[in-house]
Structure 1
Amino acid sequence: MRSITVPLTMLVGLVCASASAQMGATAETFTGMHRNESIGGRPETATITDGESFIRLTEEQYRTGHYRPAYETLPTSIVRRLPVRKDSKD
């Protein structure tokens, strides 16, 4: 049981650190890099950076945070995945 609690505690710490980084992201220190196309019904997102770390925000969070450049001018990252084919040699 102990071997499970140590990694879980570390994971919780990492999640909390990520959440605090997002809370401290200000328009003065972070700038937009690119926006990501909506996939599978998820909202569009934008990636911001301060030169050391990267944070992904929803379009609404990016706009309300007043990050620069404007959301419309960010380059769009489009990822397409091919469907997995089952081998016909069964």
Structure 2
Amino acid sequence: MTVLTNLVKIEGLFRERINRFLCHVEIQGKNNLAYLPNPGRLWELLLPGTPLLLTTSRFKGKYPYTVFAARKNASWVILDTQMTNL
């Protein structure tokens, strides 16, 4: 569990999904693009305004943020499919 606690966590809001791996998020009032490492539909989780936890991207790529988790009721649901195996 130490890997999860060492991640930089940034709070944001989900705005819209562009494709399977890309979405618009709002961070501190500004719109940004974020990598979504989960190709699932996630219709029950990714609604406009849903609180998200994001991390800075692990790899130097096109997008500065990676979606880590989404808030569902009182819990965080991890969306980064690579992290669920740790």
TM-score by length of 1: 0.25
Compare the two structures and name the one with the higher helix fraction. 1
Instruction: Answer with 1 or 2: which has the greater Rg.
Output: 1
TM-score by length of 2: 0.25
Compare the two structures and name the one with the higher strand fraction. 2
